[in-house]
């Protein structure tokens, strides 16, 4: 299963009808949802990073980011916020200001070096999270499989064979949970165990 990032962007852009904008640092904001917060958007695509920045991430993580996630960061988005932060995919964060005009992804370095260093030590990179329950999403650098696990107990809740499979399944699943006006049909937006 190979991802067509143009199709994914087209699918996300169907929410432009409720508003879109570009932040001062180039983040693409899709689907204005003021019922969540005045400056909230359903999806945020962050400007891609280059290979020098990938090298910076690899050096700080002390492991090579799998090519599939490297491609995501350099060709599609440096991290990603989907469906009102239901899923956050992490990237390289370069600005920690709280300005609403500067949108940045959650920091992939911080979560792997400080919050979950023991998990990262097992050749896994935490690449994201689910906001509903705080569970984390990781990719194994050897098998390239993804897991969703409890942030405290490390219990595995879900597994996907690849990043592509994860992203396509979750986009479809979440697309069924959200209305075109950006409202949720249900509260819990995590995958079924």
The answer to whether residue 193 scores a pLDDT higher than 90 is no
Q: Report d(CA 93, CA 108) in Å as an integer.
A: 8
Percent of the chain with pLDDT over 90: 78
Burial of residue 35, with CB atoms counted within 10 A of its CB: 0-12 exposed, 13-18 middle, 19 or more buried: exposed
Model pLDDT for residues 133-181, shown as the tens digit of each residue:
999 999 999 999 999 999 988 899 999 999 999 999 999 999 999 999 9
The answer to whether residue 71 scores a pLDDT higher than 70 is yes
Fold type of domain 5-177 = SMI1/KNR4-like (3.40.1580)
What's residue 44's pLDDT?
Answer: 97
Q: How far is CA 76 from its chain centroid?
A: 11
The answer to whether residue 117 scores a pLDDT higher than 70 is no
Domain residue limits, the chain: 5-177
- pLDDT band of 101, cuts 50, 70, 90: confident
Q: Any idea how long the chain is?
A: 193
Mean pLDDT of 27-31: 97
What's residue 73's pLDDT?
Answer: 98
């Amino acid at each position: 299963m190979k991802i067509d990032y143009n199709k994914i962007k087209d699918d996300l852009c169907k929410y432009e009808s409720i508003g879109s904008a570009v932040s001062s640092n180039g983040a693409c904001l899709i689907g204005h949802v003021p019922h969540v917060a005045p400056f909230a958007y359903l999806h945020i695509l962050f400007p891609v990073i280059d290979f020098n920045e990938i090298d910076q991430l690899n050096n700080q993580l002390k492991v090579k980011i799998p090519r599939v996630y490297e491609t995501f960061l350099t060709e599609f988005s440096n991290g990603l916020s989907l469906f009102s932060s239901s899923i956050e995919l992490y990237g390289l964060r370069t600005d920690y200001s709280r300005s609403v005009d500067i949108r940045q992804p959650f920091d992939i370095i911080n979560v792997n070096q400080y919050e979950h260093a023991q998990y990262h030590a097992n050749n896994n990179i935490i690449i994201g999270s689910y906001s509903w329950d705080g569970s984390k999403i990781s990719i194994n650098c050897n098998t390239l499989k993804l897991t969703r696990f409890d942030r405290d107990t490390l219990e595995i809740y879900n597994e996907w064979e690849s990043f592509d499979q994860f992203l396509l399944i979750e986009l479809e699943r979440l697309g069924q949970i959200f209305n075109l006006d950006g409202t949720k049909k249900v509260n819990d937006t995590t995958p079924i165990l």
